[in-house]
Structure 1
Amino acid sequence: MRLKANAFAKVAKLTLCATFVLTAQAASARVLDEEPAPGMLKPGQKVYVRCGQGMAMLVTGGNNMKGGKGAGRQHGPCVPFKG
């Protein structure tokens, strides 16, 4: 029984650490003045790009290869943003 309790504690700690890392990455999205050049964003990487005073749009990196698999770069709408 003791072995199962230790294994559960380790799994719980790893889950908590993974959640913290993922949350920290999402919270630290960068705000840029202009959109990065093609190939500069990794697939799934998110940045905010200023599109007016107090406004920004979310840009998500996608497939960097023409004709490759997966979605290309995605642009969100220009929305009010504090940052």
Structure 2
Amino acid sequence: MTITIDNLTAFLKDSMNVDEPIDPSTELFSTGMLDSVAMMNVIGFVEETARIEVHPRDVTLENFDSVQRIVDYAASQQ
């Protein structure tokens, strides 16, 4: 399965209880909307949904700070 903006946004809203509006460029971690515990859940979602392994060296704000960056990162790993 592919990670899309829609299914990742739904995961964040439903599973991570994010009430704030999220668009593809919303900064998730650098603004404090999500924390390091949430990061672990997001990584699990990415690995399970995209069927990829996220390497620790890839867990950066460049790859994970917005929905669009996460979608782009997952696509680059497939």
TM-score, normalised on structure 2?
0.22
Ranked by relative contact order (alpha carbons within 8 Å, sequence separation 6 or more), the top structure is 2
Answer 1 or 2: which has greater strand percent. Answer: 1
Greater Rg, structure 1 or structure 2?
1
Answer 1 or 2: which has greater helix percent. Answer: 2
